[in-house]
Structures are given as structure tokens and as C-alpha cells.
Amino acid sequence: MKEIKLRMFFDAHCHLRTERILSNMIPFIAVYASKVIVMPNTRPRAILTGDDVIWYRNEIQKALRGNKMPFEPLMTIEIRDNTTPQTVEEAKKAGVVAGKAYPLGVTTNSDEGLRDFFSGEITDTFQAMEDIGMLLLIHGELDGEKILVTEREKNFIPVLVKLSERFPKLKIVFEHVSTKFGVYMVEQLGENVAATITVHHLCLTLNDVIGYGIKPHNACMPIPKTFEDRDALIEAATSGNPKFFLGSDSAPHFRNKKECFVGACGIFSAPVVPALLAEIFEKEGRFNRLEAFTSANAAKFYGQPLSEEKITLVKKDWVVIEEIDGIVPFMARQKLYWEQVL
Ligand code: DOR
Ligand code: ZN
């Protein structure tokens, strides 16, 4: 049987959530990733300060009890209009590696997101982040009057350009890039700018969300777009370019929160991340670049050591289960061709 071994992944964008979802879903990430960048958009308690981080890290450690593989949660805080230089300095002392900025109202739990990326106050905060070596992670979409949901990423690009030029030593991650134009801009900008790519954006177009009936379990932000965009993402992910790395954006929501009047955006991809990546890289004939995408590029950008532990995948058909403890995983009921040996 065909078999591949890979270093455990550095998953640079994960929503671990809290309580029941945290404890029941974290095993699906801990089997493949040894380091994850933990998103801070939890509710009701958002992760905004060093104290929040200490609490949340503790919750994560409790959920990990019994886990046998190495698993290091790398923590982040939300950057809001009122986040001060002092807040980020204190957060750094609590071990925070990055601040995450959500522009107001563009996705799940961004109700208190940033209104202005260039106010005097917030630029002082970005300056402090640059000075102390804290990364800035950005949900790169901007809403506006007469801006379609498919155009929000493009609408955000001028902000990215300005930020990267104004803070040339601030490491910026353009999260879940979803367009050909976004990929191109990340390639053009300085070495301080990189991007995560999700597995679902390598698989989906808008057709898979609304083209053949409405598929709430494929709904996410940024919304999947055109075939050309998807091809550009596949090319970037499989290129070996160190500016692009895996951030699964695995984002579980209970089924009833997605199948309802206003469904939540977010795809629980963790159970299928390694299998789908093996399939995509095999199809492109680029297995040799898979580990750069899943481990090495992110570790380098974040200044973290490479994982020594390995996972094994075998070429074997399996069908993705329809529901796991109230959550429908990505590719539910579909056949995949690679499977992780557990
Ligand atoms: O689809 C998404 N879901 N995109 C995000 O940016 C947030 C995430 C979530 O938290 O569910
Ligand atoms: Zn996310």
C-alpha cells in the first residue's frame, strides 16, 4: 500500500472554541498538528488580554488531558479599537505570539472588530507589536456600501499594502487568502507579509456553496470564489513559496447553528485536513512540497522549531462520517482517498 510520512503539522489558523466543542473536537486536530495558532474569537469570553490568554490556555490544556502526541497551542489576542500598546506588551508576557484583527462585521464573532486600521491609537498598537516582535494576523476582508461579499477581499487589499509599507518589520499574515489577486499581492509585498491557505478554499468554489442547492456546511468567510481563484490558491500552496502555509481555519459550529434562518459561517475541516492535502498535492504531482506547506513554512515565519514527530498516511478509500457530536465535518458523506493511520 502507498504510504507517506510527514512531520506533524503547524496549523497556523484554528478555532478551538470552548466547553463541549473544545473538549470533543480538539482530538481531531491533535492527531495531525503539534503546533496550532489558536484564534481568539471565542464567546461569551473573547480573548483580549494576557489574563484571558492564561484562562484560555488552561481550558485548552484541560481539554487535552490524555492526549499522547505533542500539542502546543500558540495563543493570540483580538486586536480591537481599544487595544493599547500596554495590552499587547502584557499579552506578550503571557506568551502571546500574535494579535488578530477582524475588520468590523465581516465574519463570525467580528461584531466588535476594528473600525479603522489607521487611527492614531491603533497605529501606536501596531508599532508596539512591531517593536516586541508580535505578529499581526488579519482577516483580510472589508465590507462597504455596494461591496458584494465576493469583493470584500479585493476591497481590503489597499489596507494590507499600506500596513505592510508603514510597518516593514511587522510580520503580517493575510489569513485564508481566497483570490488570485490576493495571492499575487502577497507575492509582491515584502518579506514581512505571508498568507495562510485553508484546505476548503483549495477544494471549493462558489458553486459548491450555492450553485447546486444551498450547502450550509460549505459556507465560510471568505466565501469560496471562482475556478481561477481556486487554481491560483492550489498553485500557491503547492509552489513551495515560503510565504504560503497551511491555516486550516477549522471552525466547528453545531449543526443547528448552520442549518437555520441565518446560518453561521465556518467549516469544521479538522477530520479531513491531512487526507485532502495528500490528495491535492498528489494530483498536482507535488508531494515533495507538502511538508513545506504543512510544517516548515509556518514554523519559519513564526520563528518556531520544526516538529520532530511524524504522522503516517496511507492510500485507502474511506467515507467521511455525517456528524460528530452535533457537528457536520467538511466533506461529510464523501469518499476520500488517503487516510491517516492512528
Ligand atoms: O468561516 C469562518 N468561520 N471564517 C472566519 O473568519 C471565522 C470562522 C469562525 O469563527 O467560525
Ligand atoms: Zn478563522
CA of 219 to the centre of ligand 2 (A): 13
221 lines ligand 1 (CB under 6 A): yes
pLDDT exceeds 90 at position 1? no
| Mean of all residue pLDDT scores within the chain | 97
DSSP 8-state class, residue 55: H
Task: Name the CATH architecture for the domain at 3-340.
Answer: Alpha-Beta Barrel (3.20)
Return the ligand number nearest the Cα of 222.
Answer: 1
Sorted by where each begins, the domain ranges of the chain are 3-340
Give the list of residues 6+ apart from residue 58 with CB closer than 8 angstroms, or none.
Answer: none
The pLDDT confidence band at residue 171, using thresholds 50, 70 and 90, is very high
Q: What is the pLDDT of residue 83?
A: 97
* pLDDT tens sequence across 239-283: 999 999 999 999 999 999 999 999 999 999 999 999 999 999 999
Q: What is the pLDDT of residue 110?
A: 80
What's the per-residue H, E or C state across 87-128? Answer: HHHHHHHCCCCEEEECECCCCCCCCCCECCCCCHHHHHHHHH
Q: What is the pLDDT of residue 179?
A: 98
80 lines ligand 1 (CB under 6 A): no
286 lines ligand 1 (CB under 6 A): no
CA distance 194 to 4: 27
Mean pLDDT (whole number) for 139-167: 96
Chain centroid to CA 48: how far?
18
* pLDDT tens sequence across 40-77: 999 999 999 999 999 999 999 999 998 989 999 999 99
CA distance 15 to 251: 5
The pLDDT confidence band at residue 109, using thresholds 50, 70 and 90, is confident
41 lines ligand 1 (CB under 6 A): yes
Q: What is the pLDDT of residue 334?
A: 98
Mean pLDDT (whole number) for 158-166: 97
Residue 169, Cβ neighbours under 10 Å: how many?
A: 11
Mean pLDDT (whole number) for 190-210: 98
Burial label for 24, CB within 10 Å (0-12, 13-18, 19+), is middle
Give the list of residues 6+ apart from residue 284 with CB closer than 8 angstroms, or none.
Answer: 234, 238
The pLDDT confidence band at residue 108, using thresholds 50, 70 and 90, is confident
User: What is the best residue among 13, 14, 15 to mutate for testing ligand 1's pocket, by most ligand atoms within 8 Å of CB?
Assistant: 15
* pLDDT tens sequence across 185-197: 999 999 999 999 9
The pLDDT confidence band at residue 112, using thresholds 50, 70 and 90, is confident
Return the ligand number nearest the Cα of 110.
Answer: 1
CA distance 205 to 197: 14
Residue burial 269-293, b: 16+ Cβ < 10 Å; e: rest: bbbbbbbbbbbbbbeeebeebbbbb
